[in-house]
Chain A
Amino acid sequence: MTGTDIRNLILSAIALGICALLPLSGSGYWLSIGVTIAMFTVLATSWALFSGPTHYISLATAAFFGVGTYVTGLGFETLPFWSLIGIAGVIGAVLAALVGLATLRLSGVYFVIFTLGLAELVRQVITWFQNKSGQKGLYVLTDISEAGIYWMLLSLATAVFLTGWLIGRSRLGFALRIIGDDETVAVHSGINSALSKVLLFMVPGSVAAMTGAILAPRYVYIEPSLAFAPMLSFQVVIMALLGGAGRLWGPLVGVIPFTLLWESISSNFPQQTTLLLGVAFLIIVYALPRGFVGLLDDLRHRTRARMAEGVA
């Protein structure tokens, strides 16, 4: 048991090391794809940490992300960059806790749309303040390089995976699996489901805000319509679900092929990008009903069955 754990840890560390070398390859192109993959891995994995076990589909990613970009946008001239990431994380977590407390009573699609409305509300309020204060568009002119951003995202991804792994082994993680299976059983087994969910919801909130803070220098120009674009929330959900939200590594196997597919469609069919992306979505939904994780599981079962047959 622990043997496998150690093996997995070592393998992950090696994989991480290889990923960390990407900027040294000198290809800015692959680096920019790497940044995209790292960004969505962070967002989708942390999203799935909450949504996987609880089955709540949150569309609030853009809200937290946008808040994070604004933290950097407003503070990068006065505070060191690393502290801004921390501040963004704290603000994201606090915001998520508030949202979590408010949304406990909602179920299913009501929660989905609530989070969507929340993201829009945050955006409207920030816009309004910006307007009242006569604050212009924020220019984040820094000398932080793309490689720097990539490494920061990679570290954040590592932190997210470690958090996920630790949660998975903790009572909290076990509680959440029970809640996901049957919330009634959970509360009658002594689980404070409300508290567990709020605690867990703080993870994607905080992580998305930190991601926004890290990426702000890349976008240079911060304005509400770009920072809070609702498309981001949808992309995260889609990638996590395509991968499979039930496993810690599920979103990762969704993000990588999906980003590459997106990239290859964008580059090869510039006139029909949107159309073909849509078609690709549909094909994936119909061909991979349980996401890439489901596909891999099926393959594994099949080979195992075949091996068992061989033995018999």
Chain B
Amino acid sequence: MDILITGLLLGGTYALIAMGLNLQYGVARIMNLANGEMLVAGGFAAFWMYTAGQISPFLTIFLLAPLTFVLNWLIYRIMLQPLVKRAKSRGQLETDSILATFGLSFVMVGLMLSVFGGDYFNYSYLARPIVIVGDTFALNRVAAFLAAVVICGALYLWLNHSRAGLSIRAIAVAPDSARLVGINVTHLAALAFGLGGAVTAVGGALLSTYLTLDASTGVIFTLKALIIVIMGGVGDVRGTIIAALLLGIVETLVASLLDPGLTLAAAYTLFILILLFRPQGLCGKKPT
């Protein structure tokens, strides 16, 4: 039980890391290698607000979300849309977006370095124990998990029940057909990219309550997010959530019962096994 809850909490963390990238890749078709930097930037914002003004990260996110949404929307409109337009094929867009967002990640690291310095940053927020069914857990992790549940739930409902959400899913499944039925793909891709960026930044703000970050750590989160998104299946929110939780539980199981030294090895083994048996990811559609 203890392992299960710890695993779920970690899974919530992973969901926060990967959810935004899933929106960005699944819909906007941008494999955003600067995803981790956006996360760290969100963490920086929360850190700064908390240390400078004692403002709770859980309030900061309400300010952070619209800001980063606009920022990412602009990034898509200004930087990435020209690439989408000029790409003749899916493959070329993939190549171009890897190159461009790799550059963007360097730029963001550089900017954060010059604004905040290269120091580690962390702060103590809700670092208190909370007892759930007889075992103790960190309150900040539990709170972040609940926030992840709310965010993922809201996204899921929105994608399944709103008009814009359904259109976004249509694009994720079949971009060409979506265009034919009158969906403004460009507009919605920008929307999804902005939304994905905002989710990532909010995730960063929440993670910063219990993880130690520095300007250069973004790449670790990018790698993890890529693994989770692919494991879950591109463009499927449920897949990402399931993959994140599964990964969290497996890592915790291995760490608790086998050897903590094998946690990451187990995570990557799981990833590789899943891809071997389901090449399209857990919930991905089979490519035709």
Q: Do chains A and B touch in the complex (CB under 8 A)?
A: yes
Number of interface residues of A (CB under 8 A): 46
Instruction: Say yes or no for B53: interface residue by CB 8 A criterion.
Output: no
Contact bitstring A78-107, B, C-beta under 8 A = 1, else 0: 000000000000000000000000100111
**Known pairs A57-B98, A230-B223; A281 contacts B106 (CB<8 A):** yes
Stretch of A37-45, A198-206, A271-279 on the interface side: A271-279
**Known pairs A279-B103, A282-B103; A230 contacts B219 (CB<8 A):** yes
Contact residues in A for B110 (Cβ distance below 8 Å): 272-278
Contact residues in A for B246 (Cβ distance below 8 Å): none
Contacting residue for A131 out of B86, B111, B261, CB 8 A: B261
Contact residues in A for B230 (Cβ distance below 8 Å): 109-110, 113-114
Instruction: Say yes or no for A120: interface residue by CB 8 A criterion.
Output: yes
Contacting residue for A241 out of B95, B109, B265, B272, CB 8 A: B95
Contacting residue for A55 out of B91, B98, B271, B276, CB 8 A: B91
Asked if residues B275 and A282 are in contact (CB atoms below 8 Å), the reply is no
Contact residues in A for B272 (Cβ distance below 8 Å): 102, 114, 117-118, 121
Instruction: Say yes or no for A124: interface residue by CB 8 A criterion.
Output: yes
Q: Which residues between 216 and 250 of chain B lie within 8 Å of chain A, taking CB atoms?
A: 219, 223, 226-227, 229-230, 234
Asked if residues B82 and A106 are in contact (CB atoms below 8 Å), the reply is no
Closest chain A residue, CB of each to CB of B268: A121
| Distance, CA A286 to CA B268, complexed state (A) | 34
**Known pairs A117-B268, A241-B95; A272 contacts B114 (CB<8 A):** yes
Contact residues in B for A131 (Cβ distance below 8 Å): 261
Asked if residues A241 and B99 are in contact (CB atoms below 8 Å), the reply is yes
Contact residues in B for A116 (Cβ distance below 8 Å): 223, 226-227
Number of interface residues of B (CB under 8 A): 49
Contact residues in A for B94 (Cβ distance below 8 Å): 57, 108-109, 112
Kindly provide the distance from the CB of B174 to the nearest chain A CB, expressed in whole angstroms.
16
Q: Which residues between 110 and 135 of chain A lie within 8 Å of chain B, taking CB atoms?
A: 110, 112-114, 116-118, 120-121, 124-125, 127-128, 131-132
Kindly provide the distance from the CB of B32 to the nearest chain A CB, expressed in whole angstroms.
12
Kindly provide the distance from the CB of B71 to the nearest chain A CB, expressed in whole angstroms.
16
Instruction: Say yes or no for B188: interface residue by CB 8 A criterion.
Output: no
Instruction: Say yes or no for B177: interface residue by CB 8 A criterion.
Output: no
Measured CB to CB, the residues of A under 8 A from B are: 55, 57, 102, 105-110, 112-114, 116-118, 120-121, 124-125, 127-128, 131-132, 230-231, 234, 237-238, 241-242, 271-282, 284-286, 289
Q: Which 3 A-B pairs have the closest CB atoms?
A: A275-B110, A278-B106, A281-B103
